[in-house]
Amino acid sequence: MGNRRNKRLQREKIYKKIRNISSWGTVVICLFLFAFFTVLVIFLSGCIAQYIGETKIGESYMDIAHYAGLYEVADDTNGLRDFVDKHVKDYVVTDKDGNVIYTNGTNTCNPKGGIIALENGTQFMTIHQDTENGFLYAGEDKNIKFREQEFIKLIGKDVKDIKFPVWISVDMNGGENHFIGRIEFVFNNKDLILVMELFLGVVIELFIISIILIIFIVRSVINYRRVVRLYYSDVITGGHNWTWFLRYADDRIKSFRFRKNSFALVNISFVNYRNYCLCHSMSEGEELLTKIDKTISRMIRGYELSCHATTAGFALLLFYENDELLTQRLTQLTRTLEAIDNDHAFVFQMGADVISPVTNSAGKVLRRKDFNIEKAFNNACSATDEVSDTDASGIKIFDSKLLEDQRWVDTVQANQKRALANEEFVIYYQPKYNPNSLQLNGGEALIRWNSPEYGFIAPGRFIPIFEKNGFITEIDHYMISHVAADQKMWLDMGLKVVPVSVNVSRAHFAEKDLAVQIRDMVDRTGCPHNLLEIELTESAFFDDKNAMIETIKALKSFGFMVSMDDFGAGYSSLNSLKDMPLDVLKLDADFFRGEKGGDRADIVVSEAIKLAKNLNMMTVAEGVEDQEQVEFLARQGCDMIQGYYFARPMPKNEYAVRIGAAPAPQPPAAPQPPVQPAPPQPPQNA
C-alpha cells in the first residue's frame, strides 16, 4: 500500500510539473537580457560622454595651470600679469583660507568647490560652479555632474556652440595661494555630431538586440508549442493523449470557474478492437481508432474533453446534469460508434463516475482542490467492468454499490497477509461418492475465510480478488501444506483416507519448478503423494502449453494425480485432452444446474464420460443435486459424484467423521409427489 501511495504521489508531482510548463520563462529571460543590454549600452554611452567631458576639462586645466605659473612669477617689471589678464578674461586669486587677493573680470565663482578625478585616475583638480550659468559641478563621486534642466535649455536654443562655464582652481606658492580661472567648456558641432553618432549607434545597437531577442522569443514560443503539441499528441490517432487529458481535465475540475458544475468522467472500451486487428492489420486498426477519436471529438460540447487513453480505450470529461441525460448522451455516442463502419459489428462498453460540487458546512460551493482524477477514472473503469461480462455494448454509472465493492477489495488486500499469518483461512472438505457403490472414494479441499473482524467470508468474495492481485499463489501454498498435513494426521489416526484434490491457480504455472515446490511442501508433512490430487482449471491450459505438459509429467512422476477442473466450461477442452496426460476429468457443474438440458445434455455428458474412459481417465461430476442425476451418471459409468445430493463442503472434523464411517449411504426411494424426500446422508460415526 505504501509503494502504491508513493507512486501516486510521484505521478502527481510529474503532472504538476507538466501543468506548470509554459513559454513565459523564456519570455522573462529574454526581457531580462534586453533590459541588461539596454542598461549596459547606456552605461557605456555615459562612460564615453564622461571621457569626452573630462578630456576637454583636462585640456582647459592645462591652460589655467600655464597662466597660473605665469601669474606666480609676474611682477611690475615683466608685464606678465597684464599678459595673464588679457588671455584669462575672468579669474581670481585667493589665499589658502579662500580670501580674495586679486580679481580680474567678473567674479561669479562659487567659493565652494569640489575635487574631480581625471580619466587616468592619478590627476585631480578642484572645480567651482559658475553662479550665473553654472550647470557643471563636481559630484561627491569625483565625477563631473550636469544640471540636466539647464543643459536641455541650451540644447533647445539655436546656437552654434553650447558653452558650459566652470571655474578651475590651481595651487600656487606651494598651496599658499589659489589661481581660480573661468573657462568655458565648449560643446560645438563636431562634439554634437559625435554625440549624435554615439546616440544613433546606441539606438541601432538596441534595435538589433531587440530584433534578435524578439526573433529568439518567437522561435522559443514556436518551439515550445511544437514540443507541447508533440508531448500531448497521441501517436496513433494524432489527437490528444492521456497526459494531456490528465492535465486539462484536472485543471477544469479544480478550477474556480467550474466549481458549481458537475462532471462525468467516462471510460470507453472498444471491446473487439483486437479481433479487428487480427482480421485486418494493425495499421487498419489504428486508422479505425483515429476515426473513432475524431467522431468522439465532434460529438462532445465546448469545454468538454476527450482523449485516446489506452490501447483500445478513450476517456471523456462531460458536463453532468443527471443520470438519465448522461445515459442518453452515452447511448447516442454508442450507437454512433457502433455504426462507424457498416461492414463490421463493433461493441463499445462505457463506465462513468459522477463528480459533484464540493460544499462546506455552510453550504458554500468550494473549489475541488483535493480532487484525484486518477481515482475517479479508476471508478469509471470499475463501472465498465460491470458490463464487460457480456459481448454487447453497455453503459454503467459508478454508484454506491460499486464504491462498496471497491472498498471491500481494499479491505481484503489490506488484511490478506495478516489473515494468512494468523491462519484465518480454514479448509473445508467436500466428499466425492461412487454413484453405484455409494462409497466415499475422494474429496475436494475448499478454502473459507473466518475473519475475527468480518466473520465468515465466502470464497466468492475474496478468491477473485486474490487471483487479480497475485496473492492466490500464497493461498495455493497454504492449501497444499494444510491438506497434506490433515491427510497425514488422519492416516496416522487409522481413518479411511482417500485422495483429496487441491486446486492450483493458473498463475502458478509460470514457475518452472512448480512440481518440485509441491513435492517439497508435501514431503515436509510426511503425507504420501498418492493422497493428493492436483487440480487444474481448464483456463490454465490456454497459457504456455509446453510448460503445462512438462509440469503435469513431473507431478505424475512424483506420484501425484492430476485432474482437469470445469471440463466443458471452455471451448478447447478436447484439444487439451489430446495433449495433456491427465488422470481425472471433472465435468463442469453447469451440466447439472438449472433447467434440464434434455436429450442433448445427456448425450454430451454421456459421450464425455466415454471419452474419459477411452483415455484411461476417471470422471467426477460436480454440482449434482438430485437423485435423477445420480442414477443417470451411475448408468453412464461416472466414477464419482460431488454435490449437495451427498454432502455440502464441511469443516475437517466433520469430514474426518465421514471418512471414518463404515458402510456407505443407501440411495433413497424414488420421490412420491407432492412430498419431496430429504437427500440421504452418509451414516455418521459417533
Residue 433 has pLDDT above 60, yes or no: yes
Decide which of 384 and 62 is more confident. Answer: 384
What's the confidence (pLDDT) of residue 25? Answer: 63
pLDDT digits (tens, 9 = 90+) for 508-550: 777 788 899 999 999 999 999 999 999 987 666 656 677 788 8
* Mean pLDDT of the 150-172 span: 68
Q: Kindly report which listed range (5-14, 202-211, 243-252, 555-564) carries the lowest average pLDDT score.
A: 5-14
The mean predicted confidence, pLDDT, of the chain is 82
Residue 328 has pLDDT above 70, yes or no: yes
Distance set, CA 489 to CA 48, 476, 527, 542 (Å): 106, 20, 9, 36
pLDDT digits (tens, 9 = 90+) for 669-684: 444 444 434 444 443 3
* Mean pLDDT of the 192-197 span: 68
What's the confidence (pLDDT) of residue 201? Answer: 74
- The residues, any chain, with a CB within 8 Å of residue 614's CB and separated by 6 or more, are none
Decide which of 107 and 194 is more confident. Answer: 107
* Mean pLDDT of the 439-444 span: 93
Check whether domain 410-659 has CATH 3.20.20.450, yes or no: yes
pLDDT band at 135 (very low <50, low <70, confident <90, very high): low
pLDDT band at 188 (very low <50, low <70, confident <90, very high): low
DSSP percent split of the chain into helix, strand, coil, nearest 5: 50, 20, 30
Decide which of 626 and 424 is more confident. Answer: 424
Residue 307 has pLDDT above 90, yes or no: yes
**The one-letter amino acid at 447:** I
Percent pLDDT > 90 in the chain is: 37
Of the ranges 132-141, 147-156, 361-370, 417-426, the best mean pLDDT one: 417-426
* Mean pLDDT of the 429-440 span: 92
What's the confidence (pLDDT) of residue 156? Answer: 52
DSSP 105: S
Give the torsion sign (CA, 639, 645, 649, 653): negative
Q: Kindly report which listed range (230-244, 251-265, 431-445, 661-675) carries the lowest average pLDDT score.
A: 661-675
Domain 242-398 sits in CATH at 3.30.70.270
pLDDT digits (tens, 9 = 90+) for 269-293: 999 899 899 888 999 999 999 999 9
- DSSP H or E stretch at residue 58: helix 24-73
Decide which of 470 and 337 is more confident. Answer: 337
Decide which of 666 and 265 is more confident. Answer: 265
What's the confidence (pLDDT) of residue 210? Answer: 76
Are 590 and 569 spatial neighbours (Cβ–Cβ below 8 Å)? yes
Residue 302, φ and ψ in degrees, nearest 5: -60, 145
- Cα 403–Cα 407–Cα 409 angle in degrees, nearest 5: 115
* Buried-state track 112-131, b at ≥16 Cβ within 10 A, e below 16: ebbebbeeeeeeebbbbbbe
Residue 663 has pLDDT above 50, yes or no: no
pLDDT digits (tens, 9 = 90+) for 14-38: 555 555 555 566 667 767 777 777 7
What's the confidence (pLDDT) of residue 211? Answer: 82
* Mean pLDDT of the 473-486 span: 94
pLDDT band at 668 (very low <50, low <70, confident <90, very high): very low
Residue 594 has pLDDT above 90, yes or no: no
What's the confidence (pLDDT) of residue 488? Answer: 94
- DSSP H or E stretch at residue 316: strand 313-320
DSSP 498-555: --EEEEE-GGGGG-TTHHHHHHHHHHHHT--GGGEEEEEEGGGGGS-HHHHHHHHHHH
Domain locations in the chain as residue ranges: 29-201, 242-398, 410-659
What's the confidence (pLDDT) of residue 380? Answer: 93
Residue 447 has pLDDT above 70, yes or no: yes
Are 609 and 636 spatial neighbours (Cβ–Cβ below 8 Å)? yes
pLDDT band at 43 (very low <50, low <70, confident <90, very high): confident
Of 48, 137, 552, nearest to 126 by C-alpha is 137
Residue 686 has pLDDT above 50, yes or no: no
What's the confidence (pLDDT) of residue 26? Answer: 62
Same fold, 242-398 and 410-659: no
* Mean pLDDT of the 591-604 span: 69
Strand partners, 314: 268, 308
What's the confidence (pLDDT) of residue 678? Answer: 41
